[in-house]
């Protein structure tokens, strides 16, 4: 009996001691192993890494009668840089934002440092436009929220929040509260948020495909990784009806009949906008990708991909609907110049790579020591709270 117990124990633990890529592992087994690997970290002191956002936008404008000169252009945006966050909410971030348009190119820099001082956390910002540093102390409530967000981020790495993917199938919008970072809010705040959002979330459904695992390893920053992917889409129907009822409830005028008439007259255009918004959101493509080191099972990189996002049909319908012929003295639709609009994003990706416990100190650049001081908007007394537990 004792031998069988030891054998079973070794078999169970061996799952988390795998080294090297194993194509037989399922997505759930990989995620479970990753959660366990993170829990084995005795103390998570820092998360550092790189962030990159690439966006390519194609814009066109013309009209069939030639009254609007044909215009077509491509805009490229790229935000990239490094970051480090410590477990007390200290952080440093160095980002560059590059914009490329036909005949123009510009690069801006954002640098942010935050660390505890005598009167609370000191926050340093670098303004590249004016080539100067500024420093300030956030109001207590703002700083509390900031620290709560950092705390939630660390909980994701320590295994307290392992919902990297949505379950396969259709999810009601109301169920989104199950995936909310509830430790960021009080019970009363959550209840108020649910009451406010419930009518709108009731018309939202999320469709999540099965999580897939690439049959071959992918190299990320020199490490062999498992690649896990999931496609997500929205199904929104009935938003205008929700707003109509909301408007009727709000317009309690002289009588219910009068209120209803006022509401219908005032909300007719908004209802049409809601219908267009539904069509737009239902066409948004979302792909989530995670890379997990196949030796350590620690997270290495994640990607949010919205490539293929196309606003053209939405903007075209909006332009055709919004032309008010009488306002411009036009006799018919034939006299109106309705533009042909195209706005699409062939590439729209955000990538974040991670490294754990790489550093335990935030060092401010020497040129920031003479930063201009900005007083916080709130004069609430500061109560130090430098540890996220």
Q: Can you give the pLDDT at residue 54?
A: 95
Distances (CA, A) of 34 to 30, 43, 235, 311: 6, 16, 31, 38
Instruction: Name the most confidently modeled range: 62-76, 84-98, 180-194.
Output: 84-98
Q: What is the pLDDT of residues 273-283, one digit of tens each?
A: 777 777 778 87
385/381 Cα distance (integer angstroms): 13
Q: What's the pLDDT tens digit per position in 76-126?
A: 999 999 999 888 888 899 999 999 988 889 998 889 998 887 777 888 999
Q: Which of 231, 180, 216 is nearest to 201 (CA)?
A: 180
pLDDT at position 264 over 70: no
Give mean pLDDT, residues 335-344. Answer: 77
Please list the residues that pair with 348 across neighbouring strands.
55
pTM above 0.85? no
Would you say 293 and 300 are in contact if contact means Cβ atoms under 8 Å apart? Answer: yes
pLDDT, average across residues 161-180: 72
Q: Are 46 and 359 contacting, i.e. CB atoms less than 8 angstroms apart?
A: yes
C-alpha R_g of the chain = 26
Integer Cα distance of 267 and 369 in angstroms: 54
Q: Is the per-residue pLDDT at 25 higher than 50? A: yes
Rounded Cα distance between 14 and 26, Å, is: 16
Cα atoms in the 13 Å half-sphere on the side-chain side of 202: 11
């Amino acid at each position: 009996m004792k031998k069988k117990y030891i054998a079973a124990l070794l078999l169970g633990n061996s799952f988390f001691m795998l080294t090297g890529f194993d194509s037989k592992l399922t997505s759930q087994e990989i995620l479970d192993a990753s959660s366990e690997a993170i829990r084995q970290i005795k103390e998570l002191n820092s998360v550092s890494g790189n962030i990159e956002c690439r966006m390519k936008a194609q814009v066109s404008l013309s009209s069939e009668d030639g009254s609007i000169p044909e215009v077509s252009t491509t805009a490229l945006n790229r935000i990239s840089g490094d970051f480090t966050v410590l477990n007390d909410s200290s952080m440093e971030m160095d980002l560059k934002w590059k914009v490329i348009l036909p005949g123009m190119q510009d690069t801006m820099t954002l640098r942010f440092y935050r660390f505890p001082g005598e009167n609370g956390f000191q926050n340093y910002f670098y303004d590249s436009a004016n080539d100067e540093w500024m420093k300030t102390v956030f109001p207590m409530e703002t700083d509390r929220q900031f620290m709560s967000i950092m705390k939630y981020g660390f909980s994701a790495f320590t295994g307290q929040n392992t919902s990297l993917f949505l379950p396969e199938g259709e999810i009601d919008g109301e169920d989104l509260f199950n995936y909310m970072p509830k430790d960021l809010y009080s019970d009363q705040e959550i209840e108020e948020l649910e009451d406010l959002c419930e009518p709108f979330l009731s018309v939202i459904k999320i469709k999540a495909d099965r999580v897939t695992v690439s049959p071959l390893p992918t190299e990320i920053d020199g490490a062999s990784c498992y690649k896990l992917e999931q496609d997500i889409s929205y199904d929104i129907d009935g938003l205008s009806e929700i707003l109509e009822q909301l408007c009727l409830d709000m317009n309690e005028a002289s009588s219910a009949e009068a209120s209803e008439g006022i509401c219908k007259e005032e909300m007719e255009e908004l209802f049409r906008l809601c219908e267009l918004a539904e069509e737009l959101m239902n066409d948004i493509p979302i792909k989530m990708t995670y890379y997990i080191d196949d030796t350590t099972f620690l997270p290495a990189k994640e990607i949010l991909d919205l490539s293929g996002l196309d606003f053209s049909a939405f903007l075209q319908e909006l332009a055709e609907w919004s032309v008010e012929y009488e306002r411009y003295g036009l006799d018919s639709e034939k006299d109106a110049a309705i533009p042909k609009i195209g706005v699409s994003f062939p590439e729209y990706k955000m990538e974040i790579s991670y490294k754990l416990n790489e550093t335990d100190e935030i060092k401010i650049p020497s040129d920031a020591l003479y930063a201009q001081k900005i007083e916080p908007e709130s004069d609430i007394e500061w109560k130090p709270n430098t540890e996220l537990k």
